Structure 1
């Protein structure tokens, strides 16, 4: 039985959540909170397996409640959010603070017919994620020593020793940095991009798995740009890779992004690992197109998308990185890369950025 705490100030929406979850015999609503302080208190007292979190709450926002919960009683949090722009920015801030997934609230259109099933599926998926005390919380000293609830997730894998030696001097210019992320990705991407120097010249191509409608997608690119101070945009088909110096390109929702003949291409080809966009599709293309003149980074996320592609990049001479377990929200995709020997370096995002700086020239800096 998966025990669920609902956090929602609207009585109508709470009833909808309750009725939808009641249709699944494996899901049990164990409590309901109407504001942020009550949510934090009930998580500590009831220790649910999953929290559904509204963002716009009285007294304490859903974002603040998420930060407190992930600092004090780490619990998988599913954000249930509307497509209002202000709420969307709060949603991505919550994902960066440790919430693990987001589900858009009913829109009032034909898609609502399957909303209850999607909610139950999302709750089941989120319940399997092994969450950690969020790194922000550890740095802030807010953890009260409460451990995470029991989990049936995979046991941790012994990571390869962190490589401490300097990155070798490259004989070819870095043409592209390919990045893949899933659950926990917004925070990891933010940490990586913030730590890159402002004059970093290589284009950064990112696949971030997120269940995003168009409003959610547009908000994510704007949010990431605001968080990092970088030029972030969704990819357009046919743009020359060499024209993208210093820019960050995101794969659009439901489209693979790849490099072919020196151009950024978008594809509606079948999903890989049930994912479109797929990290492996991007990594495979960068391995074939750029070879040793590329770097690959596989960040936090569930599943194995990107692990085999990162191995192909490494086999073609690219410098490869996987995020370390301690800083991951979900040590899934990087774990698979570590098991395959695909990553030359296993590091937290900010230290990956420092190594990338060693690989690529920085505008205005003489080497």
Structure 2
């Protein structure tokens, strides 16, 4: 049995959630909470396998409840939220605080036909993720010391000027991507191209660029096909929803090509193109995520002389993609995101100067 805690203040929506879960006898609703305080209390008492979390709750918000739960009783959380702009930003904050994934609430149109199936499938996947006390959930963490990070390999004596940084992330990625970008030097001029898997509607995904810009203070936007890489110095370009992002002839390109690893956009598509186009003048960072997307592409980057990084297990929400990269020798450095940013600045100091 997969024991589910529903957190939702709307009686109608709670009924809809129960009905959607009913066809699967292995998904058992063990409790329902109508506010954030009750959600935290029931999580500690019932110890569910997975939680559906609304963001707009009376009392403490869904975001605050997520932070409490991830600090006190880490549990896989699926945010079930609407596409309202205020709620979208709370949703991304919750993902950065340790929630695992997001599913948009029913819209009341034809897209609702398979909503129940998508909910059941997503809950099954999310429930299998091993979560830990999240770094953003600092409640009660005063006085604790962080586990030491293993020392990285020696810095090469000479390295070519950095032409691009390519980043891939999936489950748990919003928080890791925020940490990486935020810790780059303020005058970091090298373009950053990023693929983040977001299993949500286009409306959900489009707001991600605004949220990430607000979190990092950087110029973040979705990539436009045909943009010369030379014209995006200091910017962070994201793969748009359901489009592959890659580089060809030093131009940013977008594609509706077939999914890779069931993903579009796929990290491997970006990494492989950067390996071919930039070789040793690139850096690749593979962050938290489920599956193996990005591992072989990162290996291609390393084989072409690029500096490559995989996120360490201790800082990952899901140690899947980075683990695959480490296993095949694709990562020269295995570090938390902030240490990646520092090492990129150390390796290529010229990238921080115009």
TM above 0.5, yes or no, is yes
1:50-99 residue CA offsets vs partner (Å, 9 max, x unmatched): 00000000001000000000000000000001000000000000000000
Deviations 1:260-310, CA, capped at 9 Å, x for gaps: 011011011100000000000000000011000100000000000001110
Confirm or deny: 8 A CA contact 1:53 1:80 kept in the other structure: yes
Would the alpha carbon gap of residues 130 and 86 (structure 1) be closer, same or farther in structure 2, given more than 3 Å must change? same
1:321–1:21 Cα change, 3 Å: same
The answer to whether the Cα contact below 8 Å between 2:189 and 2:353 also exists between their aligned partners in 1 is no
1:35 aligns with 2:23: no
1:113-128, aligned counterparts within 5 Å? Answer: 113-128=113-128
Shift of 1:25: 1.3
Q: How does 1:95-174 map to 2 (within 5 A)?
A: 95-137=95-137, 141=141, 162-174=150-162
* Aligned residue number for residue 150 of structure 1: none
Deviations 1:174-230 (A, max 9, x none): 111000000000000010011001100110000000013222122100000000000
Cα distance in 2 for partners of 1:139, 1:261 equals: 49
CA distance in 1, matches of 2:309, 2:282: 11
Partner in structure 2 of residue 308 of structure 1: 296
**In the superposition, relative to structure 1, how do residues 142 and 109 fare at CA in structure 2: closer, same or farther (>3 Å)?**
farther
CA separation in 2, counterparts of 1:35 and 1:297? 38
- Please report the RMSD computed on the Cα atoms of aligned residues, expressed in angstroms: 1.8
Where in structure 2 are the equivalents of 1:4-83 lying within 5 Å?
A: 4-83=4-83
Residue 244 of structure 1: how far off its partner (Å):
1.0
Q: Which residue of 2 aligns with 1:226?
A: 214
TM-score (normalizing by structure 2): 0.95
User: Tell me, which stretches of 5 or more residues in structure 1 are unaligned?
Assistant: 145-160
8 Å contact from structure 1 (residues 225, 232) kept in 2:
yes
TM-score, normalised relative to structure 1: 0.92
The equivalent residue for 2:256 is 268
Structure 1 residues 171 and 362, CA gap change in structure 2 (3 angstroms): closer
Query: What SS class does the counterpart of residue 137 from structure 1 fall into?
Result: coil
Query: Corresponding residue for 2:2?
Result: 2
Q: How far does residue 101 in structure 1 lie from its aligned partner after superposition? A: 0.1
Contact 2:82 2:88 in 1 (8 A): yes
Query: Match of 2:87?
Result: 87
Contact kept? 1:8, 1:32, Cα under 8 Å? yes
2: CA distance, partners of 1:137 / 1:208 = 22
Distance 1:49 1:364, change over 3 A: closer
| Maintained 8 Å contact 1:201/1:362 | no
The CA deviation string for residues 324-367 of structure 1, in whole angstroms up to 9 with x for no partner, is 0000000000010111111000000000000111233467859x
> Cα deviation per residue 1:162-185 (whole Å; 9 max; x = unaligned)?
453442244421111000000000
Alpha-carbon distance in structure 2 between the residues aligned to 1:14 and 1:142: 36
Task: Provide the C-alpha distance between the structure 2 equivalents of 1:49 and 1:75, rounded to a whole number of angstroms.
Answer: 7
Residues 356, 140 of structure 1: alpha-carbon distance in 2 compared, 3 angstrom cutoff: farther
Q: How many residues align?
A: 350
